[in-house]
Chain A
Amino acid sequence: MKKRKELPVDFRSGLPVLELTGNRRVTVEGSAGILKYESELVRLNTSSMVISFCGRGLTLRCISATSVVVEGYITNIDFMT
């Protein structure tokens, strides 16, 4: 019980983890699928929300079952809960 309290908020709540490198790369852990994939818009589904990345020249650098790496010039990030 004590250990569970020490865990970060995102792991406890099942929220996706976003790691941004400037506005050029974002790693999303906890992805449940890709909803939209265009060079100006990438929309990802997670268990609790839909995340949209707007920008220019967006590409999926790496895709696995639970995480996605998006690269490009990101101008806007939207969260739809």
Chain B
Amino acid sequence: MLFVLRLLRGFVEFRVFGRFPERFINLLSRRNVVSWSVVPEKDGFSGRMFLSDYKKIRPLAKSSGVRLRVVKRFGLPFFIKRYKLRRGLCVGAIIAIALMSLLSMFVWDVQLDGAEGLSTVEINNALKSSGLVAGTLKRSVRTDYVERRLMLRVPEIRWVSVNLLNNIAKIQIKQKAKKPKSSIAPYPCNIKAAFDGVITKTTVYSGTLRVKKGSAVTKNQLLVSAVTENADNKLSYTHANADIFADIYIVKNIEISKNTPIYIPQKNYTEKSNISFLWLTAPFRMSESCGGYSLDNYYQYRLNLNSVSLPLGEQVLRRHYFIRSALGSDTDKAENILRKKLCLYEAFTHSRCGIKSKEYKILENNKSYLIKSSYTFNRNIAVKQRIHIES
């Protein structure tokens, strides 16, 4: 501490040599001039003293017949003198320090840990409502309040901890364990066929199988019965459970009118962006809207430094333009649209099925296009149907 204070005042290391160095020391002490690290040397001594004192001791040296030499200079006054002409450097350093201390007062980023499978939008909304977002003043964040609020708003959270590490708010989340599916069958039920088809594979977990592999079944036909017979020839009712796979034949027709509007994407797009700094945003790039049909995409970029997200970023709104026209007699486009619709049908209606065969043809008439498709799917056709027992 003493050394730091001496550095702030500035001090010099000097050497005294001449006829009466002792007399010089005595004069210094009588004038209350503080000196330290006084080490005897040949024909004199060396020591250190404050810069302000050193300026006063010239007459004393003269009267005691010694000569003074400055060996080394230390401290802030010499540093300032050296960089006196480079004022910009000092101003820049001061601004940088001021900026750093200002920015360190805010939360730069909110990081979630352990929120896999949970809605980050919901969590972020809960954090926002409790006053924790990027740009919040660090001292205004009440971590216990944020934790309580988050647990109330997101019921899937079992435990949460909010830690302010430097300028990053780290939210550690532990999720509630999901309730396992009950293995106890609550009610007796049969298994019936959901589609017409030919059985290819049967796996029965409980119940009595009523069909064989290779047999043809119709919709709502009993596949697995809930009634089982035990060793004493007594009947009992169970919750039938089985996987019954069958080849099913399905015909699907999709029709689209020739007046169906289609949107043709254009190559040009416009971008608008805002610069965001903490909670502040300011327009950065602007462009004139072209009008017509458009689709907006929103992107957000954050500046990262050594995997630390800085509170500086850009929010971009990219607008793509489309021209609307009718389908008309454009066969290729119609075929393309119909094929896409067929793919969507496969993906959403028969998502867990194997496609054994697929045929389709496209027909055109005056008003519309029609796709006639025929599929052979291999799928689980088992569907449970509850049975009521009158006692």
Interface residues of A (CB under 8 A from B): 33-39, 58-65, 68
Contact = CB atoms under 8 A, between A and B. Distances in A.
A59 B26 contact: no
Contacts of B165: none
A33 B26 contact: yes
B45 interface: yes
A63 B21 contact: no
B25 interface: yes
A59 B26 CA distance: 15
B296 interface: no
For A36, A37, A62, A68, the residue with the greatest tally of chain B CB atoms inside 10 Å of its CB is: A37
Given A59-B39, A59-B40, A63-B35, A37 B22 contact: yes
Nearest to B25: A34
A37 B45 CA distance: 8
Contacts of B35: 63
Contacts of B25: 34, 37, 60, 63
Given A34-B26, A61-B36, 20 more contacts: A33-B22, A33-B26, A33-B29, A36-B22, A37-B38, A37-B40, A37-B45, A39-B39, A58-B40, A59-B38, A59-B39, A59-B40, A60-B25, A62-B36, A63-B28, A63-B29, A63-B38, A64-B32, A65-B29, A65-B30
Contact of B38 (A35, A60, A64, A65): A60
B28 A35 contact: no
Interface of B: 21-22, 25-26, 28-30, 32, 35-36, 38-40, 45
Contacts of A33: 22, 26, 29
A56 B29 CA distance: 24
Contact of B21 (A37, A39, A59): A37
Contacts, number: 37
Nearest to B41: A39
Contact of A38 (B30, B36, B40): B40
Contacts of A62: 36
B32 A39 contact: no
Nearest to B28: A63
For A33, A35, A58, A60, the residue with the greatest tally of chain B CB atoms inside 10 Å of its CB is: A60
Contacts of A36: 22
Nearest to A67: B29
20 contacts: A34-B22, A34-B26, A35-B22, A36-B22, A37-B21, A37-B22, A37-B25, A37-B40, A39-B39, A58-B40, A60-B25, A60-B38, A61-B36, A61-B38, A62-B36, A63-B38, A64-B29, A64-B32, A65-B30, A68-B29
B65 to A, nearest CB: 15
Contacts of A35: 22
B38 to A, nearest CB: 5
Closest 5 CB pairs of A and B: A33-B26, A60-B38, A63-B29, A34-B22, A39-B40
Contacts of A59: 38-40
Contacts of A34: 22, 25-26
A39 B38 CA distance: 11
Contacts of B30: 65
Nearest to B47: A60
Contacts of A58: 40
A33 B25 CA distance: 8
Nearest to A40: B40
A26 to B, nearest CB: 15
Nearest to A45: B26
